[in-house]
Amino acid sequence: MILFAFLIYFAKIIGGFMLAHLLWPARDIKALLLKFFMGVGLGTGVASLLYFLWLWFKLPLPVFGYVELLLLILLGVLVFIQEKSKGVTKPLMVVAPSKSGLLWGVLVMLALFVAVSSFLLRALRVPHGVQDAWGIWNVSARFIYGAGERWLQIIPQNAWFHPDYPLLVSLNIAEVWSILGVSLTRVPIILALVYMLGLLGLLASALAIVKDQQQGALGMILLACLPVVPSLASNQYADLPLAYFFLGTAALLYIYTILRETRLLLFAGLFAGLTAWTKNEGLTFIAIATLSCFLLGLSEKRNLLKYFLAGLGLPLFAIVLFKSVTPTNDLYAAASTSFWQLLDFSRTQVIISAMLRMFLSFGGWPISFAVVLAVYAILMFGRYSIRGKIWLLFAAIVCQLIAYFGIYLFTPADVTVHMNTSLERLVFHLFPLTIFLVLSLLPSPREVFASDAV
Amino acid sequence: MFFVFFRRLLVIVLVAISLTFGVYHSFLLFQIWDPQAGVKDEVSVWENRMQPIKGNLPPAVTTVGYLAEWDMPGVVYGKTDQFHEFNLTVYSLAPLIVRRGAEAEWIVGNFGSQPTKKIEAWLNTLLGSYKLEALGSGIYLIHRVKQ
């Protein structure tokens, strides 16, 4: 059963990869790797959107799994036809790795072992996840799985905590339970592991395109060895998938400015939509990413927004339908009475100092990861290199942080309690993207160890 | 030359620090590893407590009521614990809808260590005619009986 659950998620990843390859048929190894790790989000994300729409339009539930399988086969056929039509007859050439490549490979394997073992050691201690996991995401999955067609009628009844929270995680769990015919506790754990590995791979493959494979390996090692990563993953919160989609959206927008491939903007739009399909914090990120794409188009005197919006369309459609039946979120419900908190400067001070303390202590190392990374970045002085429009990454991080600041400024809850229960997770949303930004600026290990290094 | 060597050293130190802290964290987790931890997890324990509820409810029931110590007059309780146990009950019984209060025909009672006589005396004033079934660990299934 557990192996079957793994296979179902792997099939979704392959489906996502094929979708990406169909739309962006680049065959170099770096592009293929990026598409594979994009497949985690594309496959699980699009599948959850389709499942939601299937439920919304009251189509027969037992048929959905077969429809998904047919779509997978169809994607495979289309990719095969596409490859044949390009006259591609040679298999992909894989060059034997150099000694340094082998060394980095070993280091990456060690880092992955550390991340996966830490994840499993924690996840098996808390098989239902930590409170928000069973109280929000997994209970939502149980209602979707158990109530079936009745589920949409139950949502407005406020039957569980925060039924307004988006559905990517819950639907992915519920759908696999439906296929298996049983609500296995291990399924949410497997999904969490899939997203953790997806996040690590996405960071590495995106850095490989922006810099090279060794910089990708370095990024993956840094992120995998941060205790907060397997910790948050094993908690089964939706924060790690959200960090994945934040990274994906911003990285794809940025990589477009390097590769000039407009199809990447379509994926960026889809990923942006999936941020809000994962957690409500994605709603502000959609606005930030859309504005960024618009400004990018203005700077290039091209209508780039049409590609982005084409990708955003499907998730946005599902989000609008979903929000039309959910109860109002408690933060928005109290917005009018909390407006005056804007003028409370002591509140601003409390929030800013808490955020600064969190950045400095974030990660779970005995020493500050932020300080270590900053020192590393500063000491690589004189060797910064910038490709493409890196301001996109800065804008995404800074604007989303401002949005989080605003949430704490206006929260109707006690701000200290609210921050104690959420600030670490909010910072985590942007951490992989921050590592991506920093390493995109710095020389890679390959450049540093090159014989002609200066 | 010095700067070339220094930057190479930086890369090595950064990777070494990362892997060291990562391995150390895994080691700490391994030291506290308990193969029975998953079974002792509070959610797993609560799920087991709720199993008899699911087993004793008629299949057509979609909503149950919920009464606990925080509803009983004169009982001292921890609000956080009560709220936590209510959420655990919602999770364990999903997709059954669990509503606080005694309006539903079937009601889950979570009365901790309260004596059964005290519970019955209170329910007599609240419900009228009912059947009370003790399921262990302070969990009860209450069925309002129509007269």
Q: How far apart are CA A278 and CA A165, in angstroms?
A: 8
Q: How far apart are CA A343 and CA A346, in angstroms?
A: 9
Of residues A335 and A253, more confidence is placed in: A253
Whether the Cβ atoms of residue A224 and residue A110 lie closer than 8 Å to each other? no
pLDDT for residue A306: 94
pLDDT for residue A56: 92
Q: Could you tell me which residues come within 8 angstroms of residue A322 by beta carbon, excluding any fewer than 6 positions away?
A: A52, A166, A167
pLDDT for residue B29: 92
Q: How far apart are CA A317 and CA A311, in angstroms?
A: 11
**Residue type, position A91, single letter:** P
Confidence at A95, pLDDT banded by 50, 70, 90: low
pLDDT for residue A215: 95
Judged by CB atoms closer than 8 Å, whether chains meet at B21 and A365 is answered as yes
pLDDT for residue A156: 77
Q: What is the pLDDT of residues A49-91, one digit of tens each?
A: 999 999 999 888 888 999 999 999 999 999 999 988 877 655 5
Q: How far apart are CA A439 and CA A426, in angstroms?
A: 21
pLDDT for residue A451: 63
Q: How far apart are CA B93 and CA B8, in angstroms?
A: 58
Nearest residue in chain A measured CA to CA from B43: A128
Per-residue tokens: A342:
């804007």
Judged by CB atoms closer than 8 Å, whether chains meet at B15 and A142 is answered as no
Mean pLDDT score, A324-350: 69
Q: How far apart are CA A393 and CA A343, in angstroms?
A: 30
Measured between beta carbons, which residues in chain B are less than 8 angstroms from residue A361? none
Instruction: Examine the pLDDT at A397 and tell me if it is beyond 90.
Output: yes
Confidence at A334, pLDDT banded by 50, 70, 90: low
Judged by CB atoms closer than 8 Å, whether chains meet at B19 and A383 is answered as no
Mean pLDDT score, A126-147: 92
Tell whether B30 lies on the interface with A, counting CB pairs under 8 A: yes
Tokens 């942007």, residue located: A430
Task: List alpha helices for A97-238, DSSP H.
Answer: 99-123, 131-132, 138-147, 151-154, 168-180, 186-210, 213-224, 228-234
Closest CA to A256 of A390, A386, A166: A390
Measured between beta carbons, which residues in chain B are less than 8 angstroms from residue A443? 7
Q: Could you tell me which residues come within 8 angstroms of residue A84 by beta carbon, excluding any fewer than 6 positions away?
A: none
What is the CB-side half-sphere exposure of residue A301 using CA atoms within 13 A? Answer: 0
Q: What is the pLDDT of residues A404-439, one digit of tens each?
A: 998 888 877 777 878 888 888 999 999 999 999 999
Mean pLDDT score, B55-81: 89
Mean pLDDT score, A81-103: 73
Tokens 């596409």, residue located: A82
∠ CA A102-A106-A107, nearest 5°, is 115
Q: How far apart are CA A72 and CA A303, in angstroms?
A: 32
CA distances from B59 to A61, A221, A286, A305 (A): 21, 51, 43, 52
Instruction: Examine the pLDDT at A348 and tell me if it is beyond 90.
Output: no
Instruction: Examine the pLDDT at A209 and tell me if it is beyond 90.
Output: yes
Instruction: Examine the pLDDT at A29 and tell me if it is beyond 80.
Output: yes
Beta strands in chain B (DSSP E): 63-68, 97-100, 106-110, 130-136, 139-144
Closest CA to B20 of A221, A131, A170, A84: A221
Whether the Cβ atoms of residue A408 and residue A426 lie closer than 8 Å to each other? no
Confidence at B50, pLDDT banded by 50, 70, 90: very high
Instruction: Examine the pLDDT at A96 and tell me if it is beyond 80.
Output: no
Judged by CB atoms closer than 8 Å, whether chains meet at B7 and A154 is answered as no
Closest CA to A45 of A315, A355, A301: A315
Q: Residue A44: is it exposed, middle or buried by C-beta count within 10 angstroms (0-12/13-18/19+)?
A: buried
Mean pLDDT score, A173-189: 93
pLDDT for residue B38: 77
Confidence at B79, pLDDT banded by 50, 70, 90: confident
Mean pLDDT score, A399-403: 93
Query: Residue A443, Cα to own-chain centre: how many angstroms?
Result: 25
Measured between beta carbons, which residues in chain B are less than 8 angstroms from residue A123? none
Q: What is the pTM of this model?
A: 0.93
Instruction: Examine the pLDDT at A276 and tell me if it is beyond 70.
Output: yes
Mean pLDDT score, B106-119: 91
pLDDT for residue B2: 76
ipTM of the complex: 0.91
Q: What is the pLDDT of residues A219-238, one digit of tens each?
A: 999 999 999 999 999 999 99
Ramachandran category for residue A303: left, alpha or beta (phi over 0 → left; psi -120 to 50 → alpha): beta
Whether the Cβ atoms of residue A268 and residue A249 lie closer than 8 Å to each other? yes
Judged by CB atoms closer than 8 Å, whether chains meet at B11 and A445 is answered as yes
